[in-house]
Structure 1
Amino acid sequence: MSARQVEPQIAAVHPRETSALFGHREAETALLNAYRSGRIPHAWLIGGAAGIGKATLAYRMARFVLAHRNPGAPDVQHAATLNVDPSDPVARHVAAGAHGGLLTLERTLNDKGVMRTVITVDETRETIAFFGSTAAVEGWRVCIVDTVDELNPNAANALLKVLEEPPQQSLFLLVSHAPARVLPTILSRCRKLLLRPLATDDVVRAAAQAANVAVDDPALAEAAEAAEGSVARALTLLGGDAVKLHQRTAALLATLPRVDPRELHALGDALGGSDRVALAAFIDSIDRWVSERLRADEANANANLPRLARLAEVWEKINRTARDTAEYNLERKPLVFSVFGLLAEATR
């Protein structure tokens, strides 16, 4: 689950509309060098923690490739970055979601207007039609998957079929919050590009631009310090007592599998009845805690695999419960008890 699933009070700009990239200079240079070599791998897995700029980098690469169709051209060979002027027609079309050379796969609303929990196979099959049809524009075709973690099994297999036989001048940019959990057959067909969390100064500058606040705002500094390199997390924490609520939740998580009902009651009261910022901060804290433990266990050769499976299953249940709570504005205290009950059971 990412911060986008429970919207904070300050809504982040969609990555397709974001022209600036903060940090990640090495990753940007790697993509640029691969493109101007004329031998760029057709698929890249851009991995890292949620909210650090992975999708922003993917769209930045897509704009550059679509605006500079010839990798051997002088303007590409002498380019210092992947920047494309926001006034460029390609940049404007990408920002509007209307460029004929770009396909984006992401979760969409269902018939009832509720955000789906996965990217469906029918949506993923659009890639086959996209790469197989006559081009609406000359040159490259780019597919961004944001995120590959959200493909259901059938959708992942449908994407794999396209990756196995990529058309000429095709580029796949797969965003992932948990690269170790991506289907191995997909991983094997991608060049991995892992991004590190941003420096606090970069978080401050990026969040200030996204939220239209001063870079020297004390609340922004506090949120950025607690965000651990994630702009999305800083935006979530930029409101009310969200930072303190995050710290309070983290302290309770540190006591698991032991839980103190009195503290859970107090935390439920602190979430309030309709404060979306507080709810987002709580869910983000849970998400970060579970993610860190899953990554640690996945990297450990002696990991307790049954416990890992239980924790992953619990994570999915928490995701569903949190989405329902936000969508239907349900009471927050039952959510707190449910989340900590599930996590206590999974960590015993």
Structure 2
Amino acid sequence: MSARKVEAEIAIRHPRETSVLFGHREAEAALLSAYRSGRMAHAWLLGGAPGIGKATLAYRMARFVLTHRDPSAPLVRAADTLFVDPDDQTARHIASGAHGGLLSLERSANEKGVMRTVITVDETRETISFFGSTAAVEGWRVCIVDTVDELNPNAANALLKILEEPPQRSLFLLVSHAPARVLATIKSRCRRLSLRPLATEDVIRAAAAAAGIDPADPALREAAEASEGSVSRALTLLGGDAMQLQTRTAALLATLPRLDPNELHALGDALGTNDRAALASFIDTIERWVAERLRGPDPNANLPRLARLAEVWEKIVRAARDTESYNLERKPLVFSVFGMLAEATR
């Protein structure tokens, strides 16, 4: 399959079905070493940019722990990585979402079939019954939250309660795109593990494996080099005219707080109506622009402005999810996003 033929929709396997991890050897080694030590932290916060493999690593760790329940077992001592054969019975149960020792918390569809914008408190309270009931399998029980950023306030407090008094042989793997914004009380109960963006070659290999693309295709390399180490971003850039849209959006961001209504109209038209890759590329470009300003060279230079920008970004995320979930017109979103950013940067 040529990268040039990749369209907006690319069938990518869920992280629970992915047995190969590209990059992140240091992070993987840290998890393996902690498990072998017998002093495993009960909660880990896996932080890093979107699309670099945090959830894949979380499921890889869960698969290893639920397959090798005894940290002192010879196979664990001899292991160089967290790899588990995908044909192993435990791996197959996890891939199908049917393993009794693993609970996954992630956004789900509501009763109308529309994807929610947050993880709800009712879903999070499943952790109480999951850890409190008689174990369906011996040994460890693992909960993966993908992502903790998407917990609504009540859900975050519900998770905090069980993190404060963790059951024996419980393991929480919390995925976060923005660990700095996670509740301080949650962070204080987790061991932090930061994942770096992937090297270009790892992005190429991961994207090729995920979407069945020829790794030698020049278009894939071009997307990988522009992806800033994110596999999901590379795949987005391969869809339609995503790279051109990214450039166009970046050019408008560079003019803020000045707004050009004609250019905003044109950008809204370029986003189309049903092109999910175009929308993803637009939001992705906005996210990187905001992240660069929040990181700083001097993040304390103008704290009120940075606070406004962080608040605006949260509103943009909600608006983008609503636009995608309800298939709303893109042009009003473009005007709303740039209007909020212009106000925040004045």
TM-score calculated relative to the size of structure 1: 0.93
Q: Which residue of 2 aligns with 1:3?
A: none
Quick one: distance in 1 between partners of 2:196 and 2:189?
Answer: 22
One-letter amino acid matched to 1:346: A
CA contact under 8 A between 1:259 and 1:340: conserved in structure 2? yes
Are residue 335 (structure 1) and residue 333 (structure 2) matched? yes
Q: Secondary structure at the match of 2:51?
A: coil
Quick one: distance in 2 between partners of 1:149 and 1:172?
Answer: 15
CA, structure 1 residues 233+135, in 2 after alignment: closer, same or farther (shift >3 Å)?
same
Q: Which residue of 1 aligns with 2:36?
A: 36
Q: Which residue of 2 aligns with 1:211?
A: 211
Quick one: distance in 2 between partners of 1:328 and 1:102?
Answer: 31
Q: Which residue of 1 aligns with 2:98?
A: 98
1:235 offset after TM fit, Å? 1.2
Quick one: distance in 1 between partners of 2:268 and 2:76?
Answer: 54
Quick one: distance in 2 between partners of 1:335 and 1:55?
Answer: 29
Q: Secondary structure at the match of 1:175?
A: strand
1:320 offset after TM fit, Å? 2.8
* Equivalent residue runs for 1:203-242 within 5 Å: 203-242=203-242
Unaligned runs of 5+ in 1: 1-6
Q: Which residue of 2 aligns with 1:254?
A: 254
CA contact under 8 A between 1:12 and 1:232: conserved in structure 2? no
1:37 offset after TM fit, Å? 0.8
Quick one: distance in 1 between partners of 2:315 and 2:70?
Answer: 47
Q: Which residue of 2 aligns with 1:275?
A: 275
* Equivalent residue runs for 1:82-97 within 5 Å: 82-97=82-97
Q: Which residue of 2 aligns with 1:307?
A: 305
Give aligned pairs, total.
340
CA contact under 8 A between 1:128 and 1:162: conserved in structure 2? yes
Quick one: distance in 2 between partners of 1:108 and 1:342?
Answer: 28
Quick one: distance in 2 between partners of 1:79 and 1:91?
Answer: 17
1:55 offset after TM fit, Å? 0.5
1:309 offset after TM fit, Å? 2.8
Q: Secondary structure at the match of 2:10?
A: coil
CA, structure 1 residues 295+90, in 2 after alignment: closer, same or farther (shift >3 Å)?
farther
Q: Which residue of 2 aligns with 1:167?
A: 167
Q: Deviations over 1:68-114 (max 9, x none)?
A: 00110110001010000000011111111110000111111112211
1:165 offset after TM fit, Å? 1.2
The ranges of structure 1 where at least 4 consecutive aligned residues each deviate by more than 4 angstroms after the TM superposition are none
Quick one: distance in 2 between partners of 1:142 and 1:274?
Answer: 37
Q: Secondary structure at the match of 1:117?
A: coil
One-letter amino acid matched to 1:121: V
Quick one: distance in 1 between partners of 2:64 and 2:152?
Answer: 30
Quick one: distance in 1 between partners of 2:301 and 2:74?
Answer: 51
Unaligned runs of 5+ in 2: 1-6
CA contact under 8 A between 2:114 and 2:326: conserved in structure 1? no
1:8 offset after TM fit, Å? 4.4
CA contact under 8 A between 2:246 and 2:281: conserved in structure 1? yes
Worse-superposed segment, 39-48 or 236-245: 236-245
CA, structure 1 residues 156+295, in 2 after alignment: closer, same or farther (shift >3 Å)?
farther
Q: Which residue of 1 aligns with 2:47?
A: 47
Q: Secondary structure at the match of 1:219?
A: helix
1:305 offset after TM fit, Å? 3.1
Quick one: distance in 1 between partners of 2:24 and 2:225?
Answer: 18
Q: Which residue of 2 aligns with 1:61?
A: 61
1:289 offset after TM fit, Å? 1.9
CA contact under 8 A between 1:222 and 1:243: conserved in structure 2? no
CA contact under 8 A between 2:115 and 2:325: conserved in structure 1? no
One-letter amino acid matched to 1:178: A
Q: Secondary structure at the match of 2:104?
A: strand
